[in-house]
Amino acid sequence: MFRRSERACQAARQVQVRVDGVTMSVPDTLSVAAAVLQVHGWQGYRRHHDGSSRAPLCLMGVCHECLITIDGQPNRQGCLVPVAEGMHIERQGGERHD
């Protein structure tokens, strides 16, 4: 998991998002992938079509390992979508998403 460093130079403005049905508060500057890494870490992030567990690698739009369901739309690149108030995020850790 990741946490906000105590050396951050300002207080974070928070937004409320739902991650797998649970409402959570995260800094509004984060991408969806970064927010999930903060609240849940890399474990259980995504199940690949070969059945293996995967999680974000690059966070800059290249690797496509951060695919995630956002507001009902599956396989979005979580690192390229900023969090927004009321957003529904669902990890694709269970069944396969081809």
- One residue of 12, 16, 94, 96 binding another protein per CB under 8 A: 12
Residues 78/31, Cβ–Cβ less than 8 Å: yes
Cα–Cα distance for residue pair 21/88, rounded to 1 Å: 8
Work out whether 72 is an interface residue with another protein (CB under 8 A): no
Residues 56/81, Cβ–Cβ less than 8 Å: no
- One residue of 2, 18, 88, 97 binding another protein per CB under 8 A: 2
CA angle centred on 16, ends 5 and 29, rounded to 5°: 45
- One residue of 16, 71, 73, 86 binding another protein per CB under 8 A: 73
Burial, 48: exposed, middle or buried (Cβ in 10 Å; 0-12, 13-18, 19+)? Answer: middle
- One residue of 25, 29, 71, 86 binding another protein per CB under 8 A: 29
Query: Rule CB under 8 A: which residues touch another protein?
Result: 1-10, 12, 27, 29-31, 34, 37-38, 41-43, 45, 48, 50, 52-65, 67, 73, 75, 77, 79-80, 82
